[in-house]
Amino acid sequence: MKSQPNPPPGFIKTPAEIERMRVAGRLAADVIEMIAPHVQPGVSTGELDRICHDFIVNVQHAIPAPLDYHGFPKSICTSVNQVVCHGIPSERRILKNGDIVNVDVTVLKDGYHGDTSVMFLVGRCEAHAERLVRVTHECLYRAIEVVHPGARLGDIGHVIQQHAEANYYSVVREYCGHGIGSQFHEEPQVLHYGRPGTGMELVEGMTFTIEPMINAGKRHTKLSQRDGWTVETRDGRLSAQWEHTLLVTAGGCEVLTARRGEPWRGAD
Ligand code: MF3
Ligand code: CO
Ligand code: CO
């Protein structure tokens, strides 16, 4: 007897939807590549937001999905140092040498979403910060490697938790990856911790994100009472996150937000 139900048919994208997801994913990846050279000491996160907004709207003819999403005031999220996620770009937050910053981009094009984020090391960073960023990247890559039809959501969570904790880091539990498509956030929730062989079975045609948030210290977070968005580590230590949007395929998965130079992206 099956202990877990198969995903309802709504989780499976049609070929036409998948084509739109590929387009949206590529656009999100392109925004990251475009903004990368701008992430330097002295730039404000507000300026990074403005550059991304203008590129998405005027060059890509697409929509920055975060803008006005449940009242979010900006077009991207910028999460610096102890900020776990959902940092609000600001003219007053000027990046300085040694900061680590996550830039999270979600593009809506022709009714479909692509969602991806990367960490940038600003100037020269301390070795412990670089190490957190690297191990978090490894968590995402290891998780992507386990995605194939028949694998389970718990397998994804398990490899992330295992690698983070083997490095004496902790996994944030209050926020997770998510199904994605015509809606920014769809079912299922993709937890970044778990046990192998548990949770929903992955089926060809599902699209979802994996976006581990890994803390240098304890896993607990606090939501800013001042802006209602910014999530920080409770202990004030560093947090890192990387995110991709994936499609489950017969052979494994397609990384819809792969950038040039990543293993899932052909030369172009
Ligand atoms: N991009 C985030 C994610 O990966 C969500 C940001 S929601 C916002 O799911 F409102 F803060 F923009
Ligand atoms: Co996401
Ligand atoms: Co995102």
pLDDT digits (tens, 9 = 90+) for 216-226: 999 999 999 99
| Percent of the chain with pLDDT strictly greater than 90 | 95
Q: What pLDDT is stored for residue 268 in this prediction?
A: 77
Phi and psi at residue 11, to the nearest 5°:
-75, -15
* DSSP state for residue 57 in the 8-state scheme: I
235 neighbors 157 (Cβ within 8 angstroms): no
**Confidence bin at 8 (pLDDT 50/70/90):** low
Structure tokens at 185: 């956030």
Q: State mean pLDDT over 195-199.
A: 98
Q: Reply yes or no on whether the pLDDT at 186 is more than 90.
A: yes
List, edge to edge, every strand of the sheet that includes 213-215: 170-171, 213-215, 239-241
Structure tokens at 78: 């910028």
Q: What pLDDT is stored for residue 141 in this prediction?
A: 98
Q: Reply yes or no on whether the pLDDT at 50 is more than 90.
A: yes
Q: State mean pLDDT over 59-83.
A: 98
Prediction pTM value: 0.97
Q: Reply yes or no on whether the pLDDT at 149 is more than 80.
A: yes
243 CB less than 6 Å from ligand 1? yes
Q: What pLDDT is stored for residue 11 in this prediction?
A: 85
Least confident of 6-20, 139-153, 250-264: 6-20
Q: What pLDDT is stored for residue 146 in this prediction?
A: 98
Structure tokens at 61: 């003819």
- In the reported structure, the alpha carbon of residue 2 is separated from the centroid of ligand 1 by a whole-number distance in angstroms of 34
Which residues are within 8 A (CB) of 257 and not within 5 positions of it... i.e. 6 or more apart? Answer: 25, 26, 28, 29, 32, 114, 115, 116, 243, 244, 245
**How many whole angstroms separate alpha carbon 188 and alpha carbon 190?**
6
Q: State mean pLDDT over 200-205.
A: 97
**Which CA distances in Å does 168 have to 135, 136, 249?**
11, 12, 33
The ligand 1 atom nearest the CA atom of 209: 4
The ligand 1 atom nearest the CA atom of 65: 12
Alpha helices in the chain (DSSP H): 15-35, 45-54, 127-145, 153-166
Q: Reply yes or no on whether the pLDDT at 262 is more than 90.
A: yes
Q: What pLDDT is stored for residue 85 in this prediction?
A: 99
Q: What pLDDT is stored for residue 267 in this prediction?
A: 73
The ligand 1 atom nearest the CA atom of 243: 4
175 CB less than 6 Å from ligand 1? no
Q: Reply yes or no on whether the pLDDT at 3 is more than 60.
A: no
Q: Reply yes or no on whether the pLDDT at 1 is more than 60.
A: no
- In the reported structure, the alpha carbon of residue 86 is separated from the centroid of ligand 1 by a whole-number distance in angstroms of 6
**How many whole angstroms separate alpha carbon 148 and alpha carbon 201?**
9
Q: State mean pLDDT over 117-125.
A: 98
Segment 24-47, tens digit of pLDDT: 999 999 999 999 999 999 999 999
Work out the angle at residue 228's Cα, subtended by the Cα atoms of residues 83 and 61, and round it to the nearest 5 degrees. Answer: 80
**How many whole angstroms separate alpha carbon 16 and alpha carbon 19?**
5
